[in-house]
Amino acid sequence: MITFNEIDTTVKRATRAIGFSWGIAEEMGKNVRLLEMFGLPGIKNINQYYKIYKNNKFEDIKAISRSNTSKDYYCPIAVGVNFFDQSSTISEFIELEINNVAFPLIFIPFISRTSEIIGKRIFLKMDNKEFLFNFNQSIYSNYLSSDIIEKSKRIKLQFLENNNSFSENEWSELYKLSENTFVEESEELKQKAAGAGLIDND
């Protein structure tokens, strides 16, 4: 089995070989490694994208707004890099759309890493596929295929506020139960604690 380190290194070199800078190559190595760790077909998608990259004119994207549509198709790497770089600004939108993205799975790890940076979960709907990004710790999705996705007509993202999944009452009940483990500090314990570390055993 190919290791994650091998994936990282090989994707980085292939990205540089196709014409991207070493900086972007470093990011893509991390990203495809991340996709494979989360069980998504990163190698399949990046390999196919690089096969057609030089023979197609994929559109770049600069400032990301609430609504973004390419006349043809956006380059997923360009979209991802700018999304990542502008994360502090675009997270204030609450939601945004990016339409016509080529090989959109390549864009996925940029979103996962952004979730960690901004400290918010991000919900993404890609046509009929849904993804929930949890601070770059996990990705929940209804997409379980290992197929290559060549195009996405519509990608909608929502930045979710951090709310507890439990009520204040439920928390209070659990906290009260936890108090049963608290030990009241006696005078004997205080004296032992005060003398701790004072004896030289050397």
Q: In this predicted model, what pLDDT tens digit does every residue of 120-175 receive, in sequence order?
A: 999 999 999 999 999 999 999 999 899 999 999 999 999 999 999 999 999 999 99
Q: Tokens at residue 87, please?
A: 């994360």
What type of residue is 202? D
- Is the backbone of residue 96 left (phi > 0), alpha (psi -120 to 50) or beta? beta
The pair of three-digit structure tokens given for residue 197, joined into one six-digit string: 């570390």
pLDDT band at 90 (very low <50, low <70, confident <90, very high): very high
CA distance linking residue 9 with residue 14, whole number of Å: 9
- In the block, residue with structure tokens 């540089």: 16
Task: Give the confidence band of 199 by pLDDT, cuts at 50, 70, 90.
Answer: low
Helix boundaries (H) for 2-107: 4-17, 22-37, 42-52, 76-85, 87-90
pTM of the model: 0.84
Which percentage of the chain shows pLDDT scores above 90?
88
Provide the edge-to-edge strand list for the sheet that holds 129-134: 67-74, 95-102, 151-160, 121-126, 129-134, 138-141
- Measure the CA–CA gap between 118 and 127, rounded to whole angstroms: 25
What would the pLDDT profile of 75-87 be if each residue is shown by its tens digit?
Answer: 999 999 999 999 9
* H-only helix segments in the chain: 4-17, 22-37, 42-52, 76-85, 87-90, 108-118, 168-178, 187-195
